[in-house]
Amino acid sequence: MKSRAKKIMTLMSVLSVLLLHQVAQGQTTSSPDSALQTILNGLDGTRISLQQALENAMTNATAVRSAEATYLAAEGSVRREEGFYDPQLFFNVNHLDNNQPTSSLFSGAPVLATQQTASQAGVRVNLPIGTRIEAGINTTRLATNSQLVSRSLADSQLLPGRNFQRRRPDGARRRRVSMNRS
């Protein structure tokens, strides 16, 4: 009986080794990456590289575009604030040329012709203490054929005026000094 038990034990050992070998061959080692790769292989579409995916994300992502706009706005604010204390020159010219038929017999002309040119020029500067200083020159030239305008005003070539203005930081009080010559 020993030999028969020995044969059965040997046969069982061989069968168990073969069975374990078959089970080991039937199972492959799996990892989460291989499962993901299996799913990705089943998807339709064109494969792109990681570099292409990053480039597409940088050009099309809304959050990236918003961050870029915020950055550019901040650069503009810095540029504006750096120039806040720089002197500003200003110049303005307005010209009026008007020919209007008259409706009154007392105007002295069938067509009332008026030409007026007004100009302003000057400089303004913001000081670091919050005060804004402005100095400017205003001129006006008027020519008309109306009988109702005084001759001295109608014949005048230039009516210059000068002004100096400063504003305090609180903005409550404004002082304006104006010197006009008649």
CA distance 121 to 74: 32
User: 125-164: per-residue pLDDT in tens?
Assistant: 888 887 888 899 999 888 888 777 665 554 444 445 555 5
| pTM attached to this predicted model | 0.41
Residue 4 is predicted with a pLDDT of 76
Residue 172 is predicted with a pLDDT of 47
| Residues in the chain with pLDDT values less than 50 | 154-159, 172-175, 177, 180-182
Residue 23 is predicted with a pLDDT of 56
Q: What are the phi and psi torsion angles at 147 (to 5°)?
A: -80, -15
